[in-house]
Structure formats: C-alpha cells, structure tokens
Chains A and B, each alone.
Chain A
Amino acid sequence: MESEQFNKPSEIEAAAPVIEPGHTFASVTDKISAIVLTHRTPRFWYVGFGLSFMLVLVLLFGIAYLLTMGVGVWGIDIPVAWGFAIVNFVWWIGIGHAGTLISAILLLLRQKWRQSINRFAEAMTLFAVACAGLFPLLHLGRPWYAYWLFPYPSTMGIQPQFRSPLVWDVFAVSTYFTISLLFWYMGLIPDLATMRDQARRRFPRFAYGILAMGWRGSAIHWHRYEMAYLLMAGLATPLVVSVHTVVSFDFAVGLVPGWHSTIFPPYFVAGAIYSGFAMVLTLAIPLRKLYGLEDFITLRHLKNMGEVMLATGMIVAYGYLMETFMAWYSGNIYEQYLMWNRMFGPYWYMYWALILFNILVPQALWFRAVRTNVVALFVIAICVNIGMWLERYVIVVVSLSRDFLPSSWGMYSATVWDYAIFIGSIGLFVCLLFLFIRVLPMISIFEMRELVHETEEAK
C-alpha cells in the first residue's frame, strides 16, 4: 500500500506528459498550422462566431442607446454610482491576469507546461483587457472626453490629478494593454514566419509575410529574441501584480466601509489569478476537444491549472475570512454593520452565492480524481467565473448602498441596459477569440518544437 502511494505521482506524470510522445518538429508545425491554413473551417466555428457576433450587436445597440440617453439608463444613482460598469471592469481585468501569469511568471519559474497554453492565454488577456477598458470609458458618461484623463498641453490650462487612484488606473490599464499586446505580438513573430512559409495561397502568404516582418530564424536574431522575451517576462511580472493592486486602490483609498482595507491589494491579485485560470480552463477544455489538441493540451495542463486555482482560491478564502475577522476585531460599528449587511442585508443572496461558488465548490479540487476529470474541472471553472463576478458585485454595490448615514442609504438594481452591455461584452470577448483561432496559430509552434527537442534530448 505504502509503495503504491509512493509511486503514484510519477505514474501520473508519465500518464500525462506535457506533450504526447511521437511528435516531431514537422508534425507539431503541420498540425497547428493546418488548423488555420488547410482544414475546412468547422461548422461549430460558424455557429459560435455567429452567436457571439449577435451578442456584439447587442453590445453595439446597448452602447448606442447609452450614448444617446446618458448613463441614467443604467441602474446607477446616488449612493450606488458605480454599479455594473465597475463590477464588470474589475472582473474583466482580473480574467486578463492569468494570461500574463502563464506567459511571464511561469516562464521565469521555468514551468515547461506553460508552452502549449501561453499563446491563447495571452490572446485572452488582450481581449479581456479590451472588454475591461470599455466599461470605465462608458461610465464616464461622455466618453469622447476620455483624453482629458491624460496629461497633455490643453488650452483649458488644467491637468489631471496624479494623487487620485482613478488616474493611476488609466496609466496602469493602458500600460498593461500595451505591454500585453507587444508581448503577444513578439511571441507571434516566429510563428507568423512559419505561417508565411506554410501557406500555399497568395493572400495568406502575403498577409503573414507582412506581419512576420521578414523573420528568418537567424541564430543571432534568436539570441536577441530570447533575451528580449526574458526581459519582457521580467517586466510583465511586476506589472501584472501592480495592475490589480492599482485597481484595488480604487477601493482601498476610499473611506467607504468594506473598501478601506490594507488587505485589498494581495487579495485582489490572488482573486485576479483565480478568475483568470478559471477562464483559461473554461476556454481550453472545449478548444482542445473541438480541435483535437489533446496531444498538446494534456491532462497534465488541466490538472496543474486546477492546482493553481485551488491555491489562489484558498488565498481568496483567507481574504474573506480576514475581512470578517477584522470587522469584528476593529470594534468599528460601521465595519461591523457592513459585514452584517453583506450576510443578512438586502443583498444576502449575493454574498452566500459568492461563498458557495468561490469557496465551497472549488474545495472539490483537493481530490486528484476531480483535478483529472475534465467535466468536473469545467464545471468548477464556470462556478469560479460566476463567483468572482459576484465578489466584485458584493464589494462595489453592497458597500456603496449602505455607508455611514442611514439617511443616505439606497438600493441598486441593474436595468436591462446594464445586462445588455455586460452580456454584449462577453459576446465581444468570445467573438474576438473565435477570430483569433481562425486566423492565428492558437498554440505557440516554435515553443512546441523546442519542447519536442527537449523531450528528445531527455531520453
């Protein structure tokens, strides 16, 4: 019995390697590039793209109506002036964080299993940040004045207030988007060259050729490339931590009960990674099935991601626990009332649903059988996605709705336009992902070749 226990981990590793055996440089290249270049576009792609594009139209309609009528069409009012816009913003930004974590932090930690999931996780980051950026912009009410947020020599003679976390947010999110885009594009260059050389038709050859910028795989270029990749990873690692820290400052610097807390930065960053990995799993599980990529995205990847979710989920649970403890221990009646209000006030069902989805359900990940069960992982990932959205709802809405003075309390309920723009943003995200898997290699081809090389050498 004891020896069997001892043998177990290595058996699992052997049963679920990072890449299935029998692949060569040519086979990984052909298999990944063929999805884009030669295979017929599968029917589910048209269905998925069509449905998500319909949601994009819902988003566009929602935005058009919002811009015509003003932000009053949303459920926001005083005291809850942030509402869905900020809930969705924080949710989307958090989802983005997993992509950077996989591509940068796991690179620095030399985790080889990241190589087959980093490309689409980075794409996910980019699209999630794009969706996130939409919300504060629309929340401005007059988004065409958004450039006022940047310091520029204006004829009005005024400048942004650099002591405000809301201005920090502008810099953090725009830097994050720019760096994520550059990192992603840089990672794509050698693969775009592969696509250029694999494409047989004129237009794809030309288009990939332009995007590959004449990459020819020179040893000197590779040398600089690896250095640049490492430097970018080193820069993106503190960046990803700083972005959600700054997002949490939007709350923590405010005086509202339930926001004014020093635990916010670490607990927001952990929550971001938690929701991000949940989203990567939500996407990876159907993708590997539909495109037959089980060789490259193996059970090992899914299991590892489940473990990251469990770890970050426990940090989040600790955050909730400490919030409750501090509310009691501080002896501050406003903090104590806030906690009571969260649990038993008018939004009690949101709080308990959050605990269920974010804390209780993911405990199943302690069991190896669950971590290696694709369906169970998918269900848990969906639960965490919902749970993390509820968390932001509880933080934003419940705190604002009842602050210090009972005379200034008020209730918030979202309108159909809140939902239209939220669901529309999910549509935009999915639609962009469908376009991405149609025109670009969704797995980094050159890194898979490296993986083949390394597994051959290890033999």
Chain B
Amino acid sequence: MIADETEKSRQLTIYGLMAEFAEPEALLEAARRSFGEGYRRMDAYSPFPIDGLAEAIGFHKTRLPLLVLIGGIIGCVGGFYLQYWVAVIDYPLNIGGRPLNSWPMFIPVTFELTILVAGLTAVLGLLALNGLPMPYHPVFNVERFQLATRNRFFLCIESVDPKFNQETTRRFLESLRPQGVYEVER
C-alpha cells in the first residue's frame, strides 16, 4: 500500500510520456490505439490541423459555436437597443413628425454590432477555451518538441491518467513504433 502511494507520487513528478512520430497518419493511428487501450488524459500535437485527430483522443464537440451565437444575439439586441434608447428615450428629435423609432434606419448599425460582438466572442472565446495565453507548459521541456511546429507529430499520455504507469505506458508507446519516447518533466 505504502509502496503504491510512493510509486504514484513519483509518477506524478513527471507530466507524462511523449512519443514522436514522423507522419500525420502514424500519429492518428497511435492516438486511436491509445484511446482504444483505455487512456483518456492525453493530447496530440501537430504542426497543422489533422482531420479526426481530436475525435481520436475523445474530444468531439466544442462549445465555441454556441458562445458565438450568444455573442451575436447580444450584439444584435444590444445594438438595436442602443439606437432605440438614443433616438427615442435619451435624445428624441422631432423631424417633421416622423416616428422616433425609425427601425429600418437602425438596421445597418445593428448588423455591424452583431458581427462585431460575435467576432470578438469567436476569437476571445477560442483563446479562453484553449487556455491561452499560457506562459508555461511542461511539454516544452522536451527538447524535440520544438519540431511540433515544423514537421514532427507528438502524442503525450499524461501522468494524471488513472491507467498511467511509467513502465507499462512506456512499453505501450514503444509498441506504436515511434521515432522516440521521452519523459516530460513538470
């Protein structure tokens, strides 16, 4: 029991184990096999988006479109109300008895503000959901990882995964025939 505890805490001193691949197809295959093996806390890193990679590690849906929709609705309603408030409540101008709530004239600004708020939500929401900016991340401790933005593909199984065990996980990763397996320091 005690030996088990120390083993687990020793394992947690590292962030995880990382395997390097030379081809996007190899990474995709490795990600699928790791998920099939029962690993859940892992991430794949690639220099360009690969179709189906996020799904392969068990990430299916992002909330981003919903956030953007909400942002767009806020921009639309807020934009129209801003003009309504200005033209009808705060600063009404009687121009030849024309209606104060001349809504067709408010459409262009309503539209622009819809796009503005939705667009801001899309970019800021992307950064927020991705947890960026992030000044420090353990994966950068691996020397070879700087190739992740050039031509190499990485799969990292994290030590917080319940199935993680330094020896068996290493053996499993090596069975995927990677270019190399590295320990990721915290």
Contact = CB atoms under 8 A, between A and B. Distances in A.
A223 B65 CA distance: 12
B87 A163 contact: yes
Interface in B73-129: 82-83, 86-87, 90-91, 93, 102, 105-106, 108-109, 111-113, 115-116, 118-120, 122-123, 125-127, 129
Contact of A162 (B109, B137, B140): B109
Contacts of B102: 163
A163 B105 contact: yes
A190 B108 CA distance: 34
Nearest to B22: A25
A227 B59 CA distance: 13
Contacts of A458: none
Interface in A414-459: 446-447, 449-450, 453
A346 interface: no
Given A215-B132, A220-B59, A227 B65 contact: yes
A359 B122 CA distance: 40
B126 A224 contact: yes
Given A216-B148, A453-B48, A225 B43 contact: no
A219 B31 contact: yes
B143 to A, nearest CB: 11
A179 B116 contact: yes
Interface in B52-74: 53-54, 56-57, 59, 62, 64-65, 68
B151 A222 contact: no
Interface stretch (A192-200, A283-291, A367-375): A192-200
B109 to A, nearest CB: 5
Contacts of B126: 186, 224-225, 228
A26 B90 contact: no
A109 interface: no
Contacts of A216: 45, 137, 139-140, 145, 148
Interface in A228-243: 228, 231-232, 235-236, 238-239, 242
Contact of A224 (B57, B86, B93, B130): B130
Contact of B49 (A24, A172, A226, A239): A226
Nearest to B154: A217
Nearest to A239: B115
Contact of A246 (B108, B113, B139): B108
A226 B50 CA distance: 10
Contact of B109 (A171, A198, A214, A226): A171
A217 B122 contact: no
A224 B62 contact: yes
Contacts of A217: 45-47, 148-149
Given A220-B59, A227-B64, 7 more contacts: A159-B91, A162-B106, A194-B47, A196-B149, A220-B57, A224-B126, A235-B115
13 contacts: A162-B83, A162-B106, A162-B109, A163-B105, A175-B113, A218-B44, A219-B59, A222-B49, A236-B119, A238-B111, A239-B112, A242-B111, A449-B151
Interface of B: 24, 31, 43-50, 53-54, 56-57, 59, 62, 64-65, 68, 82-83, 86-87, 90-91, 93, 102, 105-106, 108-109, 111-113, 115-116, 118-120, 122-123, 125-127, 129-130, 132-137, 139-140, 145-151
Interface of A: 24-26, 29-30, 151, 157-163, 165, 167-168, 171-172, 175, 178-179, 182-183, 185-186, 189-190, 193-194, 196-198, 213-228, 231-232, 235-236, 238-239, 242, 246, 249, 446-447, 449-450, 453
